[in-house]
Amino acid sequence: AGQHVARRYATTDTLKIGIVGTGMVGATAAYAMILQGIGREVVLVDLNRKRTEAEADDLNHAVPFAKPEVVTAGEYADLEGCKVVIVAAGVGQKPGESRQELLGRNAAVFRSVIPSILKYAPKAVLLIATNPVDVMTHLAARYAAVEGVPASRVLGSGTCLDSARFSHLLGRHLGVDSSQIHAYVVGEHGDSEVLLWSLVTVGSVPLDDYCDARQILLDDAIKKDIDTKVRRAAYNIIEGKGSTYYGVGAALAAIVKAIVNNERSVLTITAPMANVAGVHHTTVAMPFLVGGNGVLANLPLSLEGDELAQLKASAELIKEAIKSVDDYEAQAPPAS
């Protein structure tokens, strides 16, 4: 009875958000949204119903200390009316399994999950969190297109977290609040990502000009150290505690906030693009304008030299990974 009352209360003039996949990333994203008061109802969906119900109970117990919110464990049908659905579902890598095989199995998961979401939430924006997020966002957009959903309503978390790490480390070095550091990481969310040093500003001041004015040393060795810490952050965290979830959970909450509040924020999310540095029809992270309808526009970047070459290489790597999934699916025996 309590759940029935809560659900009736929650669906009255609310912003409803769904999360499919309630592992650490999905649950932490829900927690971050509760703390910030993003939305008014969160629906958790997972094959492991027992865990989902436990997560919903635990999250509801945090609500009295945060913002008004109702968290429920549900099925796909309970996603009806969602403005945004975070997709954090997927399978882990088996011992001895190749990257191509893992991608193929996760593609199979998405072929089922994406239509199941859109059956009940056809107007929702899909926010992909499953790794490798660039490839999975590309596949999600492909499967959503079959259901009549435009690519603009499918986006991935991309390098939002990587850009935040970049800003954080620069802010510490410069002694400036990281929110005032405008720094982008683009390309793959992974080893080939590109830190755009040439475009960094502190407030509105170019990074080199700021360092000169403040007499702050930022030489190649310091830049390399920051680059390594951004690029290797996930590996170090996983080595120490097994997985990452606080940072990406907060990043997902920020993206959801930009959508439900139609903030028209510039975020380095992942979305399908016709052309990235001369690589056609691939999906990598770039600065996009994000608002109520998902991806509103992509922002052109003035890159040259090494940064442009690195972005092209990153985009080519993702395109090749997408092709490997296509090849795997073409060779896989038909479902019985």
- Determine the distance from the C-alpha atom of residue 177 to the mean position of all C-alpha atoms in its chain, rounded to a whole number: 23
Residues designated catalytic = 189
CB 265 within 8 A of CB 289: yes
Per-residue DSSP letter, 125: E
Per-residue DSSP letter, 187: B
Q: Retrieve residue 333's tokens.
A: 């025996």
Q: Retrieve residue 248's tokens.
A: 């990406």
CB 127 within 8 A of CB 117: no
Residue 256 exposed, middle or buried by CB count within 10 Å (0-12, 13-18, 19+):
buried
Cα separation, 11 vs 83, whole angstroms:
12
Q: Print burial letters for 14-32: b (CB count within 10 Å at least 16), e (below 16).
A: bbbbbbbbbbbbbbbbbbb
Find tokens 């992974």 and name the residue. 190
